[in-house]
Chains A and B, each alone.
Chain A
Amino acid sequence: MTKKGWLYWLFFLALFAAPFYLTEFRLSLLGKFLCFAMIAIGISLIWGYTGILSLGHGVYFGLGAYCMAMYLKLESSHGRLPDFMEWSGVHQLPWFWKPFEHPLVAISSAIIIPVLLAAFLSYFTFKNRIKGVYFSLLSQAVVVVFVTLFIGKQEWTGGTNGLTNFSTVFGFPLSSPFTQIILYWITVCLLLLIFLFSRWLTVSRFGRVLVAIRDGENRVRFLGFNPTTYKVFVYSLSAAFAALAGIMFVLQVGLISPAMMGIIPSIEMVLWVAVGGRSSLIGAVIGAIVTNSAKSFFSENYPDIWLLFLGGLFIGVVMFLPNGLAGVYQSFKQRKGQREGKTHEAGSHVSRSVGGF
């Protein structure tokens, strides 16, 4: 544990110190990847720990991002109508845009709206014991519904172009490197908090129930637990993480459009977690960072054939590392333990995944 603790600690320290050794451009990329890492933690919680495969987390990410973007758009319009409304024939700010003039309303609704949606959705599906592939399909359908809605209501959402061209946040210019560094640090802090909270959750009794639900939902029910409550809670929690990621994403990237909440990004999110190792929180974080860094690296250096490299990476990981990057560390440790003649404490899959790394 202590050794592991040191590793975590070093990892986050490296992230925290990034502004000192990365250029402005690389830092903004890393900031974006850390937002993705937040989503990955949420997906690891529901998929790796609870066994719910959601292919629709783009929606929660998108809703969070849009709420924040509405505030930014209003702030950069300086009391005038946002530009896309003008050319879409809207003459007055729609009523539901008005509250977003206040940053607190924007930020709180950026989290509350996705969480409510997730809770509503998951309550009715899990209560009716819809699970497995049916739930995955349902979550995809929600994505399609929202993307279609956001594209169709161009006069309210900016259509396919989405919301972009922001200038300031709370009066600070978004383009200044100083604001970007502060935003980056806030992202690291949030990621750390999310990580610690999830970590605490998974080692607690609650986490053990989640794993039990994954491995045998009926048995959990016979033992007197109500799996629905647990599943709804953890699903809404992961939606909240995705929404938080959306807020930080918009602030750092300065852009949100329906394409980013679509089916492909939603599946990509699951892919990050698969690469990192789904039943490991830190694995999910590393998976998100590694996958996206690889994407940037390959596409910068080989703009014509980079997709082949990325595809190769995915196939390689799935074929040779079924438990993702985190699985490599685990098997390495296990082998070392065996060599030293000790029986590893985490023999069974259950306790291993509860253990984390």
Chain B
Amino acid sequence: MHKLKWKTFKLLTLLLYGGVFALSGCAASSAVDEMKEKTKETNTSETGDTVKVGILHSLSGTMAISEVSLRDAELMAIEEINESGGLLGKKIEPVVEDGASDWPTFAEKAKKLLQKDKVVAIFGGWTSASRKAMLPVVEQNNGLLWYPVQYEGMESSPNIFYTGATTNQQIVPAVSWLLENRGKKFFLLGSDYVFPRTANKIIKAQLRAEGGQLVGEEYTPLGHTDYSTIISKIKEMKPDVVFNTLNGDSNVAFFKQLKDAGITAKDVTVMSVSIAEEEIRGIGGDVLAGHLAVWNYFQSTDTPENKVFVEKYKKKYGKDRVTDDPIEAAYFAVHLWAEAVKKAGSFDVDKVKKAADGIEYKAPGGTVKIDGETQHTWKIVRIGEIQPNGQFKELWNSGKAIKPDPYLKSYPWAKDLN
């Protein structure tokens, strides 16, 4: 009996689904039309006196330690704009979402911000993986994403503005400077993921072209903490420079063990691309003292805009907080967007994109300008030496802003890379 009823149930279900399928087939197309109607009606969030923008960073998980301060900087910039009267007569209303250090979550939340909240722009992301996850979403929904972190280049989406450095505004000038000032023998060390691998490919091509010598190349998994083997290799190879693309906790382990092994900045220069003031706080300035990093902005950068920025940030979020390159890039991204909106006279994505070309803004790190063709930013490159107090002493800067070249088209040696 038990079985019989179960069978009837199955049969009934199948029959019903057949029916529903047939019905829904007809209904689906009308549903789609309806949905389109719905989206048309509320295509923007410019209702009333406010306009919504999305802020999408990891507020939990491994990346939270870095990304929370980007959210703070963006909220501060939005507050500034609102205090000075808003944009086109409207106040900006930030919608904050948590990407949770999880790439599908970034895609999900980006979709939510664009489709449900109808935000006119999203400021967000840190890792390349999170950007790659959001890219198809913003392209399909014709959204606008402002990505504020240095990255490996080789990308130029029509719906993303990149306010962090691409490779020719960070890695390439750093390698040239090192070859001139520190020596020819390079040791490459990185975490095992896309950014270090791509960066090192570029560095190797550049070393070949500019007469450098590669003595070692090592990758460790993210979160790796035992560097004794690699440090003994460094001891053995005696490179002039260790080019460090490690990310996250690994840096703490690597630099502490390097110091314990008796290797100081006088013996080997370690040049890092992912260690800024925020990370130095975690590792300790005394451990890192004398080593180098390359960025477009330091908290110590001496401009009138930066004085105001640092003071304001500390006043708002606490005396012990520091500012750094990604924080600055996140901050001026909001202002660049606001300038573009003002110029366009509209929040419409296509109009803002068009208006953005050539827009300038006096950022804390110096004047930045949007390059309309690549949607990257012109930025000044700076190399700094880490001081025991956790700040940078600038050793060199490029003087003027460097044109972004994400595909390294203007470098003959980079031809084979793409």
A residues neighboring B (CB under 8 Å) = 1-2, 5, 8-9, 12-13, 16-17, 19-20, 23-25, 28-29, 32, 83-84, 86-89, 148, 151-152, 154, 158-162, 164-166, 174-175, 177-178, 181-182, 185, 189, 192, 196, 203, 253-255, 257, 259-260, 296, 299-300, 303-304, 306-307
Contact = CB atoms under 8 A, between A and B. Distances in A.
Contacts of A175: 136, 140-141
Interface residues of B, number: 64
B104 interface: yes
Given A160-B193, A253-B104, A303-B96, A259 B31 contact: no
A87 B192 contact: no
B28 interface: yes
Given A25-B111, A88-B197, A178-B29, A161 B132 contact: yes
A25 B116 contact: yes
A87 B198 contact: yes
Given A25-B111, A89-B417, A303-B97, A20 B5 contact: no
A259 B221 contact: no
Contact of A254 (B136, B198, B418): B136
B221 A148 contact: yes
Contacts of B13: 8-9, 12, 192, 196
A2 B28 contact: no
Q: Report whether over half of chain B's contact residues are helix, strand or loop; otherwise say mixed.
A: helix
Given A1-B6, A160-B129, A161-B194, A19 B102 contact: no
Given A12-B13, A28-B111, A181 B129 contact: no
A13 B9 contact: no
Contact of A151 (B10, B111, B192, B418): B192
A178 B115 contact: no
Contacts of A32: 104, 108
Contact of A87 (B16, B27, B115, B418): B418
Contact of A257 (B27, B103, B152): B103
Contacts of A189: 17
Contacts of A306: 60, 98
Interface in B98-112: 98, 100, 102-105, 107-109, 111-112
B108 A296 contact: yes
Contacts of B266: none
Nearest to A257: B103
A165 B132 contact: yes
B319 interface: no
Q: Which 5 A-B pairs have the closest CB atoms?
A: A175-B140, A160-B193, A5-B9, A303-B98, A25-B115
Contacts of B115: 23-25
A148 B9 CA distance: 46
A177 B29 CA distance: 10
B115 to A, nearest CB: 4
Interface of B: 2-3, 5-6, 9-10, 12-13, 16-17, 20-21, 24, 27-29, 31-32, 35-36, 38-39, 59-60, 96-98, 100, 102-105, 107-109, 111-112, 115-116, 127-129, 132-133, 135-137, 139-141, 152, 154, 192-194, 197-198, 201, 219, 221-222, 416-418
Nearest to A1: B5
Contacts of B112: 25, 300
A181 B192 contact: no
Contacts of B111: 25, 28
A185 B192 CA distance: 39
A178 B5 contact: no
A306 B137 CA distance: 24
Given A9-B9, A185-B24, A300-B112, A1 B2 contact: yes
Given A257-B129, A299-B97, A303-B96, A19 B6 contact: no
B265 to A, nearest CB: 30
Nearest to A16: B20
Given A1-B2, A23-B115, A178 B133 contact: no
Contacts of A196: 10, 13
B60 A159 contact: no
Nearest to A4: B9
A17 B17 CA distance: 10
Contact of B418 (A8, A20, A86): A86
B31 A20 contact: yes
Nearest to B136: A165
Contacts of A83: 154
B129 A161 contact: yes
23 contacts: A1-B9, A8-B13, A12-B13, A23-B38, A23-B115, A23-B116, A24-B35, A25-B112, A29-B108, A32-B108, A87-B154, A151-B221, A159-B193, A159-B197, A161-B132, A192-B17, A255-B107, A257-B103, A257-B129, A259-B129, A299-B97, A303-B98, A304-B98
B24 A152 contact: no
Contacts of B102: 259
Contacts of A9: 9, 12-13, 16
B103 A162 contact: yes
A263 to B, nearest CB: 12
Contacts of A162: 103, 129, 132
Contacts of A25: 111-112, 115-116
Centre residue among B2, B21, B29, B98 by max chain A CB count within 10 A: B98
A189 B31 CA distance: 20
A178 B32 contact: yes
Nearest to A152: B192
